[in-house]
Amino acid sequence: MNAILFKCNRLVRAAALLALVFLGACNARQAHPEIAVVLDDQVAAWNRGDLDGFMAGYWKNDDLTFETANGVTKGWQAVLERYRKRYATREQMGTLRFRDLVISRTGPDAAEASGRWEVRAADGRSSGHFYLTMRQIDGAWVIVKDRTTSD
């Protein structure tokens, strides 16, 4: 009887832990809407073909950092030019989607966000992970560091 209760307890604890992990992922937008809206606005701008609107989510400063396996790009204007070179046409931009979003406040004006990104365009599909450092600057949440990987 004790062995059965022990196994039941383990199953209940495992199910509870799984539920907490699932709910945490589902509630990232609800727990931190002031941060999630920045990312949602970026997706909406991208899907309209509006790179300038997409870039509104980034800190418009020379200290903005964008890291990929190909190197580091510094500065808002340089990051915009990088995007314009890679996604010169609306067709190349395709449709952007973020998923598996996790947002963590690391201070009163600091947060980290991570998740998966996917772009589906006429020339195929690309995807990867993103890891963002965000700050609240002059009352607005912006990305100050973007570390993006590709699958």
Q: Are residues 77 and 10 in the same domain?
A: no
Instruction: Report whether 85 contacts 91 (CB < 8 A).
Output: no
Q: Are residues 25 and 40 in the same domain?
A: no
Query: Which CATH number is 94's domain given?
Result: 3.10.450.50
Per-residue pLDDT in tens (0 to 9) along the chain, 151 residues = 555 544 545 655 544 444 444 444 446 667 789 999 999 999 999 999 999 999 999 999 999 999 999 999 999 999 999 999 999 999 999 999 999 999 999 999 999 999 999 999 988 999 999 999 999 999 999 999 999 999 9
pLDDT computed for residue 16 by the predictor:
44
Q: Are residues 133 and 103 in the same domain?
A: yes
Q: Are residues 56 and 128 in the same domain?
A: yes
Task: Sort 103 into a burial class: Cβ within 10 Å, 0-12 / 13-18 / 19+.
Answer: buried
Structural domain harbouring 141:
32-148
Question: Rounded to an integer, what distance in angstroms lies between the CA atom of residue 19 and that of residue 25?
Answer: 10
Q: Are residues 68 and 98 in the same domain?
A: yes
Q: And the tokens for 94?
A: 């395709």
